[in-house]
Amino acid sequence: MARLDPRLLNLSSTQHGLLLRSQLRDLGLDRHDVARLLRNGTVERTSSVVFRLRGTPATVAQRRLAAVLDAAPSAALAHLSAARVWGMYRHGEGRTHVVRPRDGRHRHSPHLAIVHTSLRLPPDHLLVVEGTPVTTPARTVVDLATDQPLGRVARMLDNAWGHRLLSIGELAAVVDTVRASGRRGVRLLDHLIAERLGHVPAESALEIRFEQILRRHSLPPMRRQVDIGDDRGWICRADHALIDDGIVVFIDSATFHRAVLDRAHDDSQTVRLRAVGLTVLRFSDAQVLYDAAAVAHAIRTARAARNRAA
């Protein structure tokens, strides 16, 4: 390989070993110079506008940035690709998704990603992660609502909310920004936002699964993370509660409720809760994940018993 131009090294070091044709032009290199770099092995072509400095590691971060640069200088990782970055979607890498402004200035047809366009892509809807522009968690959820099923969008929203990646107020603000453009999915997002206002975000897949069981079996929604006490003071925080029915629910994962001392603590907790007149339901993580019918039946039975006793 020919001696490396330090300007190329410096520039590529900030871009996972990548270089744009326009950046090479800004450095004073014409098409003949670029052809020479290709011939002598200094760079290799990734797309018609993106080059990779030969010898740099081929990483996931490099592939993602290459797709963004190939789409447009103002593009960003988006949709399912952005959801993967934020940990909201954990399936395989798959095709890269990017979004770029719909402003008519992009004549180049990118080949490294599925490209989405947007009339509204303000700077505050983007963040830089590992050197690559990415839509914020809130904007990612808004974009996903345009083409993903309701259940998937709801799960990813609850995942992001439970991990403090976004707030419902932030999500609502992004929805308002894109609403005027006639964007698909706005009504779906309005519904999800209204459904979550006044609630504590689900912090685990078990809580999300439990709430799915309630909806699918036509059971009333329950309040999350409810503090309960007696004349001796605070007893515990129930995972879910039907306050009017006097029912509290705990989801006991094997991780935190398997040891003898843990079970003894749970038993003591249950005794105090029953002493103040509450019905206590405890479900294992296996029941919530794999035996929805049994969970729903237990809740219905408890409600019926409370109604008979009233």
Q: What is the pLDDT of residues 271-296, one digit of tens each?
A: 999 999 999 999 988 888 889 999 99
Answer yes or no: do 153 and 86 share one domain.
Answer: yes
Please provide the average confidence, as pLDDT, over all residues in the chain.
86
Answer yes or no: do 71 and 45 share one domain.
Answer: no
The residue out of 196, 230, 262 marking a domain boundary is 196
Answer yes or no: do 65 and 51 share one domain.
Answer: no
What angle is formed at CA 218 by the lines to CA 216 and CA 221, rounded to 5 degrees?
A: 95
106 in a domain, yes or no? Answer: yes
Cβ(253)–Cβ(260) below 8 Å: no
Answer yes or no: do 179 and 77 share one domain.
Answer: yes
Sign of CA dihedral 263, 265, 267, 273: negative
CATH number for the domain harbouring residue 24: 1.10.10
Answer yes or no: do 66 and 52 share one domain.
Answer: no
Look at residues 201, 203, 204, 217 and name the one whose alpha carbon lies nearest to residue 291: 217
Say if pTM beats, i.e. exceeds, 0.95.
no
pLDDT top residue among 109 and 81:
81
1 in a domain, yes or no? Answer: no
Domain of 221, in residue numbers: 205-309
Answer yes or no: do 217 and 283 share one domain.
Answer: yes
CATH number for the domain harbouring residue 225: 3.40.960.10
Mind listing the pLDDT tens digit for each residue in 110-119? 788 899 999 8
Cβ(203)–Cβ(162) below 8 Å: yes
Q: Total domain count for the chain?
A: 3
Answer yes or no: do 136 and 161 share one domain.
Answer: yes
Mind listing the pLDDT tens digit for each residue in 161-170? 888 898 888 9
Does position 190 have pLDDT exceeding 90, yes or no? no
Answer yes or no: do 131 and 186 share one domain.
Answer: yes
Residues 49, 26: Cα–Cα separation, whole Å: 13
Answer yes or no: do 155 and 223 share one domain.
Answer: no
Answer yes or no: do 177 and 227 share one domain.
Answer: no
